[in-house]
Amino acid sequence: MMLKNYGKLLLDFVASLDVPYFYEPSFKLTAGSLLSDRYLLILYLPALKMGKQQLIYRLASLLNMPTAYRDVISEQVLGVRELLISFDGQDDTSVCKFYVENKISSVGSETQQAFKAFKWQLDSPNVRMIDHYYLPPVTSRADILSGIKRLSGGRETQGLNAVKALFSLSAELTLTELFYMEVEGQTDEGSDAQGRSSYDLRFYDAEIELHKVMPVITSIATYFAVPEAAIEQLLAADKNKHFGHLSSGIGRDGKEFVTFYYGVQAA
C-alpha cells in the first residue's frame, strides 16, 4: 500500500487558496537521525475567499484530522488572523500540527499562553496530543538558560549548549526579540501518545546567516551520530539564508531532539 504524500498535498492545497502565506523549512536532529521533510506554514486568514470554518473542514478531510480537533479548531480559529500549520514527514508516522494563537498582553510577571497546538499522526490519528506554548516571565538570558535546564531535568543537553553558542552570536537581541517559549505536551484523552517537554527560542531578528551557525549544527550532528556530509548536502543551497529559531527538549520517546528552523519566506 502506497502512503499518501501528505506534505505535498498540504502545500498544493494551500497554494490553491490564493492567499498570502509564509513557508519555513526546518530539520530535526536526534539520536542517529536527520529528519528534513519538515516545514511550517503561516496563513493570512483575512484574505480567504471561503469561511474560516470551511477551511478547517477541508483541511481536516485532507489531513485525516481527528474529528474532535476539527470541531474545536473550527471554533477557535474564528477570532484569529493567522493559522500556523506544521508538517513533519516521517514515513508512516508523519505528523501534522495546527497552532491556534492566544491574545497576549505585554510580557510581565505572569506566565501567558501564546499558542495551543493540536497534533496528530496522519495515518494513525488516535496518536494525538495537545501542546501548550507558554511565555514565561524572564528578566535575563540566565533565566532562559535556567528554564531550559529545568525542562531537561537538570541535564547539560545539546540544546542547552546550542543556545549558549547562539547567544554569543546574537548578543544585541533583547529578551522580547528572543521570544522564549516553553512547551508542555499533554496527552489527549484516549490517545496513544506520550507527553513531552520542550522550548522554542527565536533568533530571526539577529539576522544571522546559516553558515555562521554551521559549527553549532555540525557539533550536534556529530553527537547524535549523524554524518556531517548529510548536513552539508541538505543545506548546500541555503547557507546564506537567515537562521530562524531553535526548538529542543525531550521527545515522547524520552530522547533529546534539536530542531533548527531557517529561511522563512513569503509564498
Average pLDDT of the segment spanning 130-143: 94
Stated pTM of the model:
0.92
Per the domain annotation, does 94 fall within a domain?
yes
Average pLDDT of the segment spanning 21-44: 97
Provide the domain limits for residue 218.
6-266
The pLDDT value given to residue 251: 82
Per the domain annotation, does 65 fall within a domain?
yes
Q: What are the CA-CA distances from residue 61 to residues 64, 68, 125, 166, 196 (Å)?
A: 6, 13, 12, 40, 27
* Alpha-carbon span 10 to 174, nearest angstrom: 35
- Record the cell numbers describing residue 219, joined without a space: 557539533
Per the domain annotation, does 1 fall within a domain?
no
pLDDT at 194 over 60: no
Residue 242 is given by DSSP the state B
Number of structural domains the chain divides into:
1
Q: What are the CA-CA distances from residue 171 to residues 82, 130, 202, 203 (Å)?
A: 30, 34, 13, 11
pLDDT at 190 over 60: no
Residue 10 CA to its chain's centroid (Å): 16
Tell the residue number behind the cell numbers 485525516, with chain if given. 64
The maximal CA–CA distance of the chain, rounded, in angstroms, is 53
The pLDDT value given to residue 1: 37
Per the domain annotation, does 149 fall within a domain?
yes
